[in-house]
Structure 1
Amino acid sequence: PSAMILDEHSFQHFLDERRIIFCGNGSIKWQAVCRHPHAVFSPHSYTMQDMATVSSLKYDTQNFTSIAYSEPSYLKNVYTGIKDA
């Protein structure tokens, strides 16, 4: 995963081969830029309830990730603000 600035050529090689569905809160801005006929835009965004459902299924099946080998994946620099002295 990585953060990127999108332009009209972003994902071009994927879109030339197949249809891709874009969703989420950034897809509206992306739809204004991307005019490829294989780009499909969905108004659906995942909610906390959706994530809770997936988490519950993982818990019920004891499908856990080993935290010894897990680390956060920050796409942007972490900003913690200025601490008061």
Structure 2
Amino acid sequence: MPPSTDRQTDPSAVSASLAAEAALLEGRLSLLREAIDTVDARIDAVSEALSRLQHSVTGPADRKPRSGEAGDTGTGRPKTKRP
């Protein structure tokens, strides 16, 4: 049976092809790592902003809720359940 002509049988050609593919994959890996670092930095920034916002909204534990906050109907009347 003759060897398949579809396959590369030259070891140096196979090595060169694998080295080229490895270089491409390393380049893609580098780009992905940079993208992950960017996303991590954005997550950290948003997390810090949300934390600051939460602290500015909640304030001291003993104060009364302002109009429009949770637990406040904004009408000066207590919430009532309706049938």
TM-score range, shorter chain: under 0.3
* Structure with bigger RCO (C-alpha 8 Å, 6+ apart): 1
* TM-score (ref. length: structure 1): 0.21
Higher share of residues assigned strand: 1
Higher share of residues assigned helix: 2
When Rg is computed on C-alpha atoms for both structures, the one with the higher figure is 2
